[in-house]
Amino acid sequence: MRKLRDRISEPVKRTVRQKCGYACIICRQIPYDYDHWPHPYSGPESDRADNLILLCDSCHRKRPSTYSNIIIKQFLNNISRTPPGFSLAATQSNFSIVWPGVTIQSRQSDIRIGGKEIVNIQVTDNPLEPVIITASFTNRAGHIVSEITRNEQSHILKIFRDNVWDVQWLSNRGIFRQKLGDVYLDISLSSSEIKIRRLCFCYKGIAAIGDERRGLRIIKGYQALEINDVEFNNVNTAIDLEGSGEYRDFINVNLWRLPANQTHRGMRYLDVRNSSVIGDVGDPVFVF
């Protein structure tokens, strides 16, 4: 028989994630997997959201002896009173943060628009501490509708009420989205890197859209700044995208804390209507 998570439909999985608060219902850890409840279950007809829960590997192994049906029901009833949040796995000392189009060998990096932190990633020097993620999620109108503050999904109650936001963690990969197929942040983590596989944010009329294949595009009106194959070593880099830059009346890119000897090849301005190049990024747009 196919694995449970491959067999149940996406809408059912989403309902289960919302019901369980986006983490193992017992220890609140990620990654998790889908599991039947109550135990024992009776085949595919029990693949309904009512009969499914999220459990991590470790808690899964302890059922049904430690975690009986009654205990699991108590955890399910307590989900709304459990502090939201998640914890990512420990990491090696040699670490990279890989944005679409930009690899940064460093333990801290963020993307800001007009000074506002859109995504911030920090890895502490303690290999036992989790990766710390802070992010602001915006809707298409550019309004902030949900936030993660140091791994705490602060609007999680709003998520439940609006039945809108969805956070999915499976194995080492996390996907944050407003609805199915509408991905705002797609992250995977290994012991040597955290990779942002996909991101899509809009703030103050500037959209930051990126994926592994096409790199990062910062779009304002019909002009775009494309960033691809850029690498920074041993610097904690913040990319700050201003909406009122002096260069071509377009987006100002401020790379904070970046030593002057590091290059910025791989960045260019495009006309998004026909993908033609309208300019290279020159030194004046960088503020060191």
Least gap, CB of 91 to Zn ion (angstroms): 21
For Zn ion, the closer CB: 61 or 140: 61
Question: Residue-wise over 39-65: b if at least 16 C-beta within 10 A, else e?
Answer: eeeeeeeebebebbbbbbeebbeebee
For Zn ion, the closer CB: 55 or 206: 55
| 20 touches Zn ion (CB under 5 A) | no
Least gap, CB of 55 to Zn ion (angstroms): 6
- Residue 196 near residue 186, CB atoms below 8 Å: yes
Per CB under 5 A, contacts with Zn ion among 54-83 are 56, 59
Least gap, CB of 54 to Zn ion (angstroms): 9
Range 167-171 contact pairs with CB under 8 angstroms and sequence separation of 24 or more: 167/17, 167/22, 167/86, 168/13, 168/14, 168/17, 168/22, 169/22, 169/23, 169/30, 169/31, 169/32, 169/86, 170/5, 170/31, 170/32, 170/33, 171/31
Which of 12, 14, 19, 27 binds Zn ion (CB under 5 A)? It is 27
For Zn ion, the closer CB: 86 or 203: 86
- Alpha helices by DSSP H, listed for the chain, are 4-7, 10-19, 57-61, 69-78, 156-162
For Zn ion, the closer CB: 18 or 136: 18
Please say whether the dihedral angle defined by the alpha carbons of residues 281, 283, 287 and 288, taken in this order, is positive or negative: positive
Least gap, CB of 67 to Zn ion (angstroms): 9
Stretch that binds Zn ion, among 43-51, 53-61, 190-198, 230-238 (CB under 5 A): 53-61
For Zn ion, the closer CB: 56 or 131: 56
- Residue 95 near residue 193, CB atoms below 8 Å: yes
For Zn ion, the closer CB: 26 or 207: 26
Least gap, CB of 170 to Zn ion (angstroms): 14
* CA distances, 167 to each of 86, 235, 275 (Å): 11, 30, 33
Cα angle 70, 76, 79 (rounded to 5 degrees) comes to 145
Per CB under 5 A, contacts with Zn ion among 187-246 are none
Least gap, CB of 6 to Zn ion (angstroms): 21
For Zn ion, the closer CB: 56 or 270: 56
- Residue 31 near residue 175, CB atoms below 8 Å: no
Q: Binding pattern to Zn ion, positions 110-129, x when CB under 5 A?
A: --------------------
Least gap, CB of 72 to Zn ion (angstroms): 11
Least gap, CB of 78 to Zn ion (angstroms): 14
Tracing tokens 């602001």 back to the chain, one arrives at: 136
3-state SS assignment for residue 144: strand
How far does Cα 110 stand from its chain's mean position? 12
Which of 8, 20, 24, 113 binds Zn ion (CB under 5 A)? It is 24
For Zn ion, the closer CB: 71 or 277: 71
Which of 8, 20, 26, 102 binds Zn ion (CB under 5 A)? It is 26
Using CB under 5 A, list all residues that contact Zn ion: 24, 26-27, 56, 59
